[in-house]
Chain A
Amino acid sequence: MSLWQYANPVKFLALSARVQPALWALAAVFTGVGLLWGFFGTPDDARQGSTVKIIYLHVPAALMAINAWFMMLVASLIWLIRRHHVSALAAKAAAPVGLVMTLIALVTGAIWGQPMWGTWWAWDPRLTSFLILFLFYLGYIALWQAVEDPDTAADLTSVLCLVGSVFAVLSRYAVQFWNQGLHQGTSIPVATGNRSVADVFFYPLVMAMLGFGLLFLALVVYRTGTEIRLRRTSALRARMNRGA
């Protein structure tokens, strides 16, 4: 059994129908528990007061904003190299989800930044690269809409995705590349494990991060199914029109 068998749209739809109920249920439980625990069950921070509760939205959304683009990058590479339509459609399906996650990260960051930094916005490396990532999401979605032939659209958007990946990397590592700006460094560095978040905030945050990850997965699987059906419908219509 190979992973590539799910490049077959029929097999992908069959698999997605089987896994979706569990995926949606897990996404709802983890997101719900993470956000409710964070909002109702954690204390104020000594310095940031109750604004620390914004972390349960801001960090998971920012994490998924970047990872959604990386998922699109992998799917785009698969399309460019192996020409599997499902992978191109999965990248297309993920873009609006990534866009919303990026918007949530930008908006909650601005709302959090105003009382803590005294400004809604600064041309800080991480904030700026995130804004550019947001614009890349918009451009990517617009390009899919603008090109009529689906394979050409998949080719062009895949190339755009490769270019945009530079900003996805910058969004993640900007605070390490440039030791300047208002945005703090990584609170939970996976490589070193030296996190600066206390346990009382960390555990609900992990729940919310898992929840957002599962929510992203559930949305992308569902939306990919939608894209497959839309593609099949237009192919059938084109065939009927040729036969008429």
Chain B
Amino acid sequence: MMPELGKYASEVMSAYAVSLLLLAALLVVTLWRGRAARRALEETEAEAGRRG
């Protein structure tokens, strides 16, 4: 299944590893920050509602 990468295997694999790692980190940070912002807004709106 794994393609034969020959003498450049380390270059190809490291390019894919670094890129996918960076994309995964971007996705995780984006989703984590988005959820935190959603939660903070809900809590603030609820607090504002209680205060009238």
Contact = CB atoms under 8 A, between A and B. Distances in A.
Given A54-B11, A61-B19, A100 B34 contact: no
A51 B11 contact: yes
Contacts of A112: 11, 15
A62 to B, nearest CB: 12
Interface in A29-76: 35, 39-40, 44, 49-51, 53-54, 57-58, 61
Interface in B35-49: 37-38, 40-41, 44-45, 47-48
Nearest to A49: B8
Q: Tell me the interface secondary structure of chain B in the complex.
A: helix
Interface in A68-106: 96-97, 100, 103-104
A70 B47 CA distance: 40
Nearest to A55: B15
Contact of A229 (B7, B31, B41): B41
Given A50-B3, A97-B26, A229-B37, A39 B16 contact: yes
A189 interface: no
Interface in A229-244: 229-230, 232-233, 236-237, 239-240, 243
A154 interface: no
Contacts of B3: 39-40, 50, 53
25 contacts: A35-B16, A50-B3, A51-B8, A53-B3, A57-B16, A58-B15, A100-B23, A104-B22, A107-B15, A107-B22, A108-B18, A108-B19, A111-B11, A111-B18, A112-B11, A115-B11, A215-B23, A219-B27, A227-B37, A233-B37, A233-B40, A233-B41, A236-B41, A240-B44, A240-B48
A215 B19 CA distance: 14
Contacts, number: 99
Contacts of A233: 37, 40-41, 44
Contacts of B22: 100, 103-104, 107
Contacts of A49: 6-8
Given A40-B1, A100-B22, A223-B30, A236 B45 contact: yes
Interface string B21-33: 0110111011101
Contacts of B9: 50
A179 interface: no
Given A112-B11, A230-B40, 4 more contacts: A104-B19, A115-B11, A225-B34, A226-B30
A194 to B, nearest CB: 27
A114 interface: yes
Interface string A99-133: 01001100110011011000000000000000000
Given A44-B6, A49-B7, A104-B23, A54 B15 contact: yes
